[in-house]
Amino acid sequence: MSKLPLLARLMAPLLALAPPVTARADALIDNVNGMTLDDKGQVTRFTGLMMNRDGKITYVLKSGERRPKKVDWKIDMGGKTMVPGMIDGHGHVMGLGAQLLRLDLSDTNSLDEALAKIRIYAAANPTKWILGGGWNQERWKLGRFPTAAELDSAVGDRPAWFERVDGHAAWANSRAIAAASVTAATKDPNGGRIERGTGGRPAGVFVDAAMGLVAKTIPGLTPREQNAAFLAAQEKLLSLGVTAAADMGTTQPDWLTYRRMGDLGLLKFRILSYASGVDTALAVAGQGPTPWLYAERLRMGGIKLYDDGALGSRGAWLKADYADAPGNKGLPFLTDDQLLNNMIRGAMDGFQIAVHAIGDRANQQVLDAIEVLSETYKGDRRWRIEHAQIVDPNDLPRFGKFGTIASMQPVHQTSDMHMAEARLGEARLAGAYAWRSMLQNGSRLAFGSDFPVESPDPWAGWAASFTRQDASGQPFGGWRPQEAVTREQGWAGFTTGAAYAGFAEDKIGRIAVGMRADFLILDRDPLLAAPGDLRATKVIETWVGGDRAWQRK
């Protein structure tokens, strides 16, 4: 199906230069079943709130408290549930937008199903390249990576390129490989691997840094396409109740897109931006984090670094061989000195450092670096380790030192549990997706989804955090249930914890006096809902800074 109608629909508000409807007046939102966490993590309830013209909360009203007689406007919510806006602690905004505008294979259950979907899409879209993503050979039960020849059978007249669901591998057809001039003589780049076939010829899949060999030949998005991608992502996030997200790996074109949206009054939700590397941070922000822009809807405050790949593509850096691939320990991206140098370059200018580390060896390397840097860079640094999926139990106590934040994604556990067992073996799972252990060892948890690797649905992530079960309720009792957190701790991960991880705890994450009026109106009470019902939560209205940013039709 062509994406042109969707593109046109998403571009309409931009072309009209129409700012969001804003409620810049003293207001009362009343008759709600309100609930929030306080600064100590305890649930507090309320029945109404007042906001000022700047979109900040001025009063939180409890049951029986007298309401003011004079306000500029008020809304009676009819007893519906109100909660703080959800914060995704780790996502990729423009990646989500691109996925929404390209072919998504995440719902395919077999290689044949994926090829059929690609064939239909290619016939309907006469573009120079066929682009998409979301495939997962584990879900297909393929037992191997797909090949270029197989992709050729669906689209052979143009280059085609599909990123794996985790973004750490990509599948190319023969035309794409030829366009990039990759041959049997091409060497694997540092931190990457070309899957090879007969005679060492590229077989079709490129892992981690090797993706760049082909990706550099793909035409970039035009500014108009970037705008459309952003608007698609924002609409999706707001519809799910995500009012703020940590954008991990913001590029210069991404930043320019966010600024365009802000300048036009079309930036409705909050972006806590982490630059894609040190050079991007310095080019965008100069000598230190940017100020908060657009009524505190945008700030570049940190730098995102990569230390290894993903578990599914066997790119995560392990201390011992993969159980299902002897001789392979994964791919380190940086030497000890390279990692330290990058972290120092960012830390010396006051940027917060967030490092992607999935394997136990990568996590150890980042923890070592934090320990070294903490001797020089004092104060409230809030070092972040992104994902922290597989950790040696001996290293878990180190997360509690130096204020290190474990930025983790509950839905990764439910998606990866069977694959993780195959990759590691039962004996090496003690530190896998170890949320409770992180808290017990004094680390701070920030939860997210890693969208578009996973769905940005925070209700699914919240349910997984305290059940360790997938959407079908499996496995019974939860996978490694000793690492489940409580329902309230899971909620904190998506609100107060994610806000703290982004140096925004004084602005968002709670409903309290002085905070931004970011809140949701829901169709149910999430603290009383069974896990399956929590996953089915529907957002009725999403408010950001006192503005109704989205409403269910």
292 DSSP assignment = P
Length of the chain: 553
Greatest Cα pair distance in the chain: 81
Asked if 186 contacts 210 with a C-beta cutoff of 8 angstroms, the reply is no
Low-confidence stretches of the chain (pLDDT < 70) are 1-25
Reference 258, options 304, 227, 290; nearest CA is 227
269: CB partners within 8 A, 6+ apart: 234, 237, 238, 242, 243, 244, 245, 297, 544, 549
Predicted local confidence at residue 10, as pLDDT: 53
> What is the pLDDT, as a whole number, of residue 12?
53
CA distance 509 to 366: 28
What does the pLDDT read at residue 191? 86
Tokens of 376: 């020089």
Q: What is the pLDDT of residue 24?
A: 44
Find the DSSP H helices in 431-476: 435-440, 458-467
Give the strand order in the sheet containing 352-357.
86-91, 242-250, 270-276, 298-306, 352-357, 384-387, 405-408, 444-447
Which residues are within 8 A (CB) of 476 and not within 5 positions of it... i.e. 6 or more apart? none
Q: What is the pLDDT of residue 204?
A: 97
Q: Please write the tens of the pLDDT for every residue from 427-468.
A: 999 999 999 999 999 999 999 999 998 999 999 999 999 999
